[in-house]
């Protein structure tokens, strides 16, 4: 038998899948290895071409069989490769009806199960169990413990819901490790999983069909439900909310499936089979000559196989519901039926005491033989796994068995009959019922009208600002008429927090602003009505760059262009810098200047402006200081004590630049006379020119602070000048380092 590869899948909200984040602020996804860093649902990068994404012709499914331990009120998940039971979950909250009898698997690998004992208030119920691959077992504090109650990432795949946002997932370790679902105060009576201790219990919904049995997933990943009152209803594959009003044609409500055309088939024990076309609303009840119990679908032809409980024959129907034939299957009774991709039909020979066989025939009606079930009694359900092997659940021996179709004696038509190669004990009191799509193989054969690829990228810092998603820049990218590619994004400062955020559409190459360390981008490919697929050749996710930079400069002394102790001489961009001069003695024109302990300093926060998104408190500052200065000319002598000048620009809470400047002069003497200045602006006329003290000049983009400026006819001297500006980047008129 040909093996079917496991496909990892995405989407958001509880039950959404995720893969390990990709680190980077600017990442291009364009070759196979790049796309494999994300999560693929019904898309591939292999057929017809590599290094691009296109829709699958068919969906693949997960390596698990999901068995309803009906009598115990739980669901057990088995690894089909090893037979290891990876978890066990309650099918409903305490105080609500359980007895699950049917399970089915959605495109994300989640398992839906129906509760046969729920009819309170005229409603039934269904529950969905998520799936985790990978991770490390830990204690509640995150410390590693192989038997711990929690799983900690990174995960290869995850659809469970970290409801308490602690970064850990409380979930079952295996058989018998059933976490409580208290339903305290009836909190979950009407639906919801708020009191479920296991965070892989992700949906509980009350539905119109009482004593719910039918559960069948459609191509859009939504769930059709039906019950003993023949009421059917579709609920959301995202959150379990109703999507349609209930309807009844007076038939169906037992086992069910959705075929390749989207038609709902719902069986009715001892009565008529529902065939319903959701698109047109057309439906009919097919009489018991069409069968009355288990339903299976031929993945190659789309033909429906339907068993009759009290019939030694199984019926083959075309997709329109016409009987194509009725064929013996090796026993007088039958329940579940499954069809594999190699033209084999497998029939569970019913829950009767003493029944120990599964019938095997070909899709052309050839009876091959009966598979003996050593140690198995009361086979009720069969399903094909991701390796092409067949699983059967045995209600009286509380076990599940795996059948190798290529083993056993040669039977009718020269084909192997098949033989059991593995038995898995489900524990006392399991009572597995299950005539349903326990593995997801039926859904896996529905041609996908849509598919998605999603990826999580780690921007490295909290509050990262993401700016553009660009796709299909390469020649092989295409969107044929009637097809589409839609790209959406959501962000969060924690990886776990992404699930609680909403995806919003982004335009190709158009800048947007979403803030958070992590970004999840989802591309949805939609086929045309004719089945044509769009091609996603490449996709790039980048952070949003600031539209400007800070500039800054500090100067202790400037005498007629002779500069002493200047920090950040280039001015643009601002950088952390400092300059110190112990003393200086200069002459220019009519002035002689002596100064001691000259210092200048500039600083920017954050240091690497382009590597981080704008945030309140970002800014640039400059400080200039002179300990003592003496300026002399023929007519005037000026002595200045400590002067200090500072200027700054800071991004405020609204991410607008805010400018401040201040300076202070400790003491001033002119020709021996003391002048009280401090930090107040002051202009003093002198016989040689004009002295300006503590001046601040502010514009919309800059601030310049000067502590001391002497302007003479021949020579100027400035002491303690500090500057801070914002500068727009090229091509960004009005740009600012506080904005993206």
Two tokens, residue 156: 């290869």
How far is the C-alpha of 444 from the C-alpha of 22, rounded, in Å? 29
How far is residue 199 from each of residues 98, 151, 152, 173, 277, measured CA to CA in Å?
Answer: 19, 10, 12, 12, 35
What value does the mean pLDDT take over residues 334-343?
Answer: 95
Residues 409-451: tens digit of each pLDDT: 999 999 999 999 999 999 999 999 987 789 887 766 554 467 7
| Under 8 Å between Cβ of 90 and 118 | no
Could you read off the pLDDT of 76-126 as tens digits, one per residue? 999 999 999 999 999 999 999 999 999 999 888 899 999 999 999 999 999
Q: Return the number of other C-beta atoms located less than 10 Å from residue 672's C-beta.
A: 7
State how far the Cα of 599 lies from the Cα of 81, in Å rounded to an integer: 73
Q: In the numeric block, which tokens belong to residue 731?
A: 């091509």
Distance CA 171, CA 158 (A): 12
List of residues 6+ apart from 577 with CB closer than 8 A: 567, 568, 601, 602
Could you read off the pLDDT of 366-416 as tens digits, one per residue?
Answer: 999 999 999 999 999 999 998 999 999 999 999 999 999 999 999 999 999
Q: Do the Cβ atoms of 454 and 522 come closer than 8 Å?
A: yes
SS3 503: coil
Confidence of residue 10 (pLDDT cuts 50, 70, 90): very low
Alpha-carbon span 163 to 171, nearest angstrom: 12
CB 397, CB 352: distance < 8 Å:
no
Backbone angles phi, psi at 499, to 5 degrees: -60, -25
Phi-psi region of 141 (alpha: psi -120 to 50; beta: other; left: phi over 0): alpha
pTM flag (> 0.85): no
Strands annotated E in 59-131:
64-69, 74-79, 85-90, 100-105, 111-115, 124-129
- What backbone torsions phi and psi does residue 610 show, to the nearest 5 degrees? -80, -15
> What's the token pair of residue 13?
């909200």
Bridge partner list, 33: none
Compare 434 and 668 and report the one with higher pLDDT. Answer: 668
pLDDT at position 19, please? 72
* pLDDT value of position 397: 98
Residue 485 · residue 523 · CB < 8 Å: yes
Beginning with the edge strand found earlier in the chain, give each strand of the sheet holding 74-79 in spatial order. Answer: 64-69, 74-79, 85-90
Mean predicted lDDT score pLDDT of the chain: 92
Q: Tokens 């990892």 appear where?
A: 8
The closest alpha carbon to 715, from 595, 581, 562, 573, belongs to: 562
Q: Phi and psi dihedrals of 71, rounded to 5?
A: -70, -20
| Highest mean pLDDT pick, 20-29, 39-48, 160-169, 177-186 | 177-186
3-state secondary structure of 563: strand
At residue 60 the predicted structure's pLDDT band, cuts being 50, 70 and 90, is low
Tokens matching residue 265: 């088939």
Q: For residues 533-561, give the mean pLDDT.
A: 94
């Amino acid at each position: 038998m040909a093996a079917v590869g496991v496909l990892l899948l995405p989407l958001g909200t509880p039950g959404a899948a995720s893969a390990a984040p990709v680190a980077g602020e600017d990442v291009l996804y364009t070759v196979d290895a790049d796309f494999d860093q994300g999560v693929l649902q019904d898309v591939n990068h292999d057929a017809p071409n590599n290094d691009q994404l296109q829709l699958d012709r068919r969906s693949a499914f997960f390596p698990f069989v999901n068995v309803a331990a009906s009598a115990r009120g739980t669901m057990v998940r088995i690894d089909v490769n090893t037979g290891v039971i990876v978890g066990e979950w309650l099918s409903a909250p305490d105080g609500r009806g359980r007895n699950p009898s049917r399970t089915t698997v959605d495109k994300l690998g989640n398992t839906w199960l129906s509760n046969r004992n729920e009819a309170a208030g005229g409603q039934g119920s269904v529950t969905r169990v998520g799936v985790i691959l990978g991770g490390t077992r830990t204690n509640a504090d995150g410390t590693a413990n192989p038997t711990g109650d929690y799983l900690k990432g990174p995960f290869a795949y995850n659809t469970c819901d970290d409801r308490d946002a602690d970064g850990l997932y409380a979930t079952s370790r295996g058989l018998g490790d059933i976490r409580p679902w208290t339903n305290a105060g009836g909190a979950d009576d009407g639906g919801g999983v708020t009191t479920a201790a296991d965070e892989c219990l992700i949906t509980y919904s009350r539905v119109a069909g009482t004593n719910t049995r039918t559960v069948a997933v459609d191509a859009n990943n939504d769930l059709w439900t039906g019950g003993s009152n023949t009421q059917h209803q579709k609920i959301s594959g995202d959150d379990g909310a109703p999507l349609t009003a209930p309807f009844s044609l007076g038939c169906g409500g037992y086992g069910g499936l959705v075929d390749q055309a989207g038609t709902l088939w719902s069986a009715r024990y001892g009565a008529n089979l529902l065939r319903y076309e959701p698109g047109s609303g057309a439906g009919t009840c097919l009489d018991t000559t069409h069968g009355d119990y288990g339903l299976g679908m031929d993945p190659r032809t789309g033909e429906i196989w339907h068993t009759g409980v009290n019939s030694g024959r199984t019926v083959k129907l075309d997709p329109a519901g016409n009987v194509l034939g009725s064929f013996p299957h090796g026993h007088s009774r039958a329940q579940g039926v499954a069809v594999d991709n190699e033209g084999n039909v497998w029939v569970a020979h019913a829950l009767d005491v003493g029944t120990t066989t599964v019938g095997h025939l070909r899709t052309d009606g050839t009876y091959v033989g009966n598979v003996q079930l050593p140690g198995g009694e009361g086979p009720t359900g069969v399903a094909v796994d991701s390796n092409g092997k067949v699983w059967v659940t045995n209600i009286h021996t509380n076990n599940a068995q795996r059948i190798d179709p290529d083993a056993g004696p040669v039977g009718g038509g020269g084909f192997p009959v098949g033989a059991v190669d593995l038995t898995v004990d489900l524990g006392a009191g399991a009572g597995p019922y299950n005539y349903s799509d326990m593995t997801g193989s039926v859904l896996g054969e529905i041609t996908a009208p849509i598919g998605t690829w999603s990826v999580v990228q780690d921007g490295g810092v909290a509050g990262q600002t993401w700016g553009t998603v660009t796709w299909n820049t390469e020649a092989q990218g295409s969107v044929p008429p009637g097809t589409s590619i839609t790209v959406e994004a959501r962000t969060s400062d924690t990886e776990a927090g992404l699930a609680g955020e909403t995806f919003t559409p982004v335009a190709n190459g158009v800048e947007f602003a979403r803030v958070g360390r992590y970004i999840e981008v989802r591309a949805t490919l939609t086929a045309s009505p004719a089945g044509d697929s769009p091609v996603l050749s490449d996709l790039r996710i980048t952070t949003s760059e600031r539209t400007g930079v800070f500039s800054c400069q500090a100067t202790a002394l400037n005498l007629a262009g002779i500069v002493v102790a200047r920090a950040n001489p280039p001015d643009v961009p601002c950088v952390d810098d400092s300059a110190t001069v112990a003393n200086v003695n200069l002459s220019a024109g009519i002035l002689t200047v002596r100064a001691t302990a000259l210092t200048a300093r500039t600083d920017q926060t954050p240091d690497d402006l382009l590597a981080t998104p704008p945030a309140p408190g970002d800014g640039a500052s400059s400080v200039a200081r002179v300990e003592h200065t003496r300026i002399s000319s023929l007519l005037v002598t000026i002595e200045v004590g400590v002067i200090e000048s500072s200027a700054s620009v800071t991004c405020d809470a609204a991410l607008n630049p805010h400018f401040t400047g201040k300076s202070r002069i400790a003491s001033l003497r002119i020709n021996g006379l003391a002048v009280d200045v401090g930090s107040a602006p002051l202009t003093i006329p002198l016989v040689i020119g004009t002295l300006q003290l503590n001046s601040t000049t502010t514009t919309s983009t800059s601030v310049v602070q000067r502590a001391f400026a002497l302007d003479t006819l021949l020579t100027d001297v400035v002491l303690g000048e500090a500057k801070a500006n914002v500068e727009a980047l090229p091509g960004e008129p009005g740009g600012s380092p506080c904005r993206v």
